[in-house]
A and B are shown apart, each in its own frame.
Chain A
Amino acid sequence: MTFLKLIIKEISYRKLNFWLSILSAAVAAGCLIGALTFLRAHKLRTEEIIDRKEIETKKRVIKLEDDYRKITKKMGFNVLILPKDQNLNDFYADDFASKYMPENYVHKLANSKIVTIRHLLPSLQQKLKWPEKKRTIILIGTRGEVPNVFKSPLKPLVQPVNPGEIVLGHELHSSLNISIGEVVTLLGKSFKVSKLHRERGNKDDITAWINLKEAQILLKKENKINAILALECKCAWAGLAKVRDEISEILPDTQTLESHGKALARAEARDRAAKEAVAALDAVKHHRAVMLAEQKDFVSTLVPAVIFVCAVWIGVLAFGNSRDRRYEIGVLRALGVSSKNIFFLFLTKAALIGFAGAVLGCCAGFFAGMLIVSDKSQTVSLFALFQPNALILTLAGATILSVTATWLPALSAARQDPAEILRKE
């Protein structure tokens, strides 16, 4: 006869007490392993979602970049050619150049073999008071595009304004209630309104376009212009220096600025799109992290509470068991079993209960976790949920919990006075 055999025989005799204790330990262990499996499942699911999103985002960004590359490939960027002596401070402050250059500069460029620029638009611009309407406007004299003689003709980006006609920006025609076909007077000369622009939200809304020759006469700047806009220069950002060099070779009395073009804007848009994709991914990550934190909070409250209740229940059952075994304890003591042995008899039984309960609880908890994952994800491997460390921790933890919960009842049993028991029994 051994103490272990005695314990096993007693367990098989008092089955209800044993199974209730096992159930308590299993609930505690199952709750812990279930929570850990659930959190692990959430983490794996998050990784799965993030990985998928990252791949999707990467593909989207690549596609977007490719689309913009294709779109902007033939677009180029814009440059503005100004007189060399034009002070740029004044230019940026006034929105037009105060210095002038000969109109034939545009012909020089058009007749050159320069390949980096196209769509040349000479203009004469000036901010002035429209005396007849008492408005400050930007008057632009334009003649449309000057074709490059060495290149095949392209469809012009900007249409010229015919002599005797005027095109008005949105703010001007809407506030002055001007309509197409109406005749207006500007600086004493009559113009027929040929076109009204829609709102653009920039200085174009207070601009009036007329024919370049008529503008030169009105502004007393015959054969003069103060800017040449070259649209859709066919080279990349890195090629701006090359454009400048080529223009300065042909027109040494000019300076070249990069104008804010559509290509740049679209490049920025592409960059923004990529950033937004990354931000969306970060938002998903943040959302999942917040969810995980909330779940951890919940678990960190629920699991200890369940474990505490289970521990109390195991203790109560152990107290009941020690009370039921009063006379057994008396007899064993009479047979020479020491109080220390009685103490360890109860604790060994508690350890067995804790371990067996933990095994059952781990199986149940893991099974529950598997169910949750298989319900939510088809790709997370069930084996990935298996955490050896958590298993060992739970098995050891449940055993220790059961032993700890039984400590006082075991101590109480060991301290029972056998003489008292045997006298009263």
Chain B
Amino acid sequence: MLQLTNIKKSFRKKNDVVNVIDNFSLTVDEGKFIAVQGASGSGKTTLLLMIGTLLTPDNGTVLINGTDPYSLNPEVRANFRAQNIGFVFQQFYLLPYLTVLENVLTSNLVFKKANAKEKALKLLQHLNLEHRLTHLPSELSVGERQRTALARAVLNQPKLILADEPTGNLDAENGAVILDYFKKYAAKGNYVLMVTHSKHAAETADRIEVLDGK
């Protein structure tokens, strides 16, 4: 179970304190694909980063399968993140000097899992990227880039996928591929949490949570 309780996060901007998230709680059961909607600046990305163990909340607790990642020291927390969380970003964030296959295999940098290359090849084949294995990100279409980023996020079969506007830069067809993959991935007993301001994308989720920026 993914459980957020009374999460609070504020940022200091010059002399002002901006409360981005204020007492947000959320519970996600296994196998669920959740969409979080909200206007720009409502704290969607901030929420995602807090769940992704990259941004410590000012208040409240984050429990991922019963573990509070913020109670772990940074080194252990990084390992926890590598094992349990996969990220998909709107801007893809592929490393420009690595090929498609190599970008996917960066998920294997920390934990050397056996047969990672075979798994990656299978995954890329599943996402229709088998003809792009040795291509650099700059040689890919936008949809192919996002599918590569998706393959990277799921290579280690993490329990939790966090997606930040994953279809924001995609056309409808490519967007549908991604959303369909999320739905199927969650159905395998995982959690997928997607933040989006797209109503269409949100409607493909099992549940929609709204973040009002308070």
Q: Is the CB of B109 within 8 A of A419?
A: no
- In the bound assembly, the distance between CA atoms of A335 and B93 in angstroms comes to 11
Within 8 A of B (CB), among A332-358: 332-341
Q: Which residues of B contact A176 (CB under 8 A)?
A: none
| B118 CB-CB contact with A under 8 Å | no
Contact of A333 among B54, B91, B96, B108 (CB under 8 A): B54
Q: Which residues of B contact A10 (CB under 8 A)?
A: 97
9-residue interface stretch from B31-39, B72-80, B127-135, B172-180 = B72-80
| B81 CB-CB contact with A under 8 Å | yes
Task: Find the A residue at minimum CB distance from B97.
Answer: A13
Residue in A12, A328, A340 whose Cβ sees the most chain B Cβ within 10 Å? A328
Q: Is the CB of A341 within 8 A of B110?
A: yes
| B182 CB-CB contact with A under 8 Å | no
- In the bound assembly, the distance between CA atoms of A422 and B54 in angstroms comes to 10
- In the bound assembly, the distance between CA atoms of A328 and B110 in angstroms comes to 15
9-residue interface stretch from A1-9, A34-42, A60-68, A136-144 = A1-9
Q: Which residues of A contact B89 (CB under 8 A)?
A: 331, 422
| A425 CB-CB contact with B under 8 Å | yes
Q: Is the CB of B78 within 8 A of A333?
A: yes
| A220 CB-CB contact with B under 8 Å | no
- In the bound assembly, the distance between CA atoms of A339 and B110 in angstroms comes to 12
Q: Is the CB of A328 within 8 A of B95?
A: yes
Q: Which residues of B contact A423 (CB under 8 A)?
A: 45-46, 49
Distance of B92 from chain A, by nearest CB (Å): 9
Q: Which residues of A contact B109 (CB under 8 A)?
A: 1-3, 6, 332, 335-337, 341
Within 8 A of B (CB), among A294-335: 327-328, 330-335
Within 8 A of A (CB), among B100-115: 102, 105-111
Q: Which residues of B contact A418 (CB under 8 A)?
A: 54
- In the bound assembly, the distance between CA atoms of A176 and B46 in angstroms comes to 124
Task: Find the B residue at minimum CB distance from A422.
Answer: B49
Q: Is the CB of B82 within 8 A of A336?
A: yes
Q: Is the CB of A338 within 8 A of B78?
A: yes
Task: Find the B residue at minimum CB distance from A12.
Answer: B97
| B87 CB-CB contact with A under 8 Å | yes
| B52 CB-CB contact with A under 8 Å | yes
Q: A422-B89, A423-B46 are in contact. Are A335 and B75 (CB under 8 A)?
A: no
- In the bound assembly, the distance between CA atoms of A336 and B53 in angstroms comes to 10
Distance of B25 from chain A, by nearest CB (Å): 21
Q: A336-B79, A339-B74 are in contact. Are A9 and B45 (CB under 8 A)?
A: no
- In the bound assembly, the distance between CA atoms of A133 and B38 in angstroms comes to 139
Q: Is the CB of B55 within 8 A of A334?
A: no
Task: Find the A residue at minimum CB distance from B20.
Answer: A423
Q: A13-B97, A419-B49 are in contact. Are A332 and B106 (CB under 8 A)?
A: yes
Contact of B107 among A14, A335, A419 (CB under 8 A): A335
- In the bound assembly, the distance between CA atoms of A328 and B94 in angstroms comes to 8
Q: Is the CB of B106 within 8 A of A334?
A: no
Distance of B1 from chain A, by nearest CB (Å): 22
- In the bound assembly, the distance between CA atoms of A136 and B200 in angstroms comes to 141
- In the bound assembly, the distance between CA atoms of A423 and B102 in angstroms comes to 25
Q: Which residues of B contact A13 (CB under 8 A)?
A: 96-97
Residue in A9, A331, A334, A419 whose Cβ sees the most chain B Cβ within 10 Å? A334
Within 8 A of B (CB), among A354-396: none
- In the bound assembly, the distance between CA atoms of A146 and B24 in angstroms comes to 140
- In the bound assembly, the distance between CA atoms of A299 and B106 in angstroms comes to 47
Contact of A338 among B45, B75, B95, B116 (CB under 8 A): B75
Q: Is the CB of B45 within 8 A of A337?
A: no
- In the bound assembly, the distance between CA atoms of A418 and B85 in angstroms comes to 15
| B98 CB-CB contact with A under 8 Å | yes
Chain A residues within 8 Å of B, Cβ to Cβ: 1-3, 5-6, 9-10, 12-14, 327-328, 330-341, 418-419, 422-423, 425
State the 8 A-B residue pairs at the shortest beta-carbon distance, nearest first: A336-B82, A13-B97, A419-B55, A1-B105, A338-B78, A331-B93, A419-B54, A419-B49
Additional A-B contact list (14), CB under 8 Å, known A6-B106, A336-B110, A337-B82: A6-B95, A13-B96, A331-B95, A334-B93, A335-B107, A335-B152, A336-B83, A336-B109, A337-B78, A338-B78, A338-B79, A419-B54, A422-B93, A425-B91
25 contacts between A and B (CB under 8 A): A1-B109, A6-B98, A9-B102, A10-B97, A12-B97, A13-B97, A327-B93, A328-B95, A331-B87, A333-B78, A334-B52, A335-B82, A335-B107, A335-B110, A335-B152, A336-B80, A336-B85, A336-B110, A337-B78, A337-B82, A341-B110, A418-B54, A422-B54, A423-B46, A425-B91
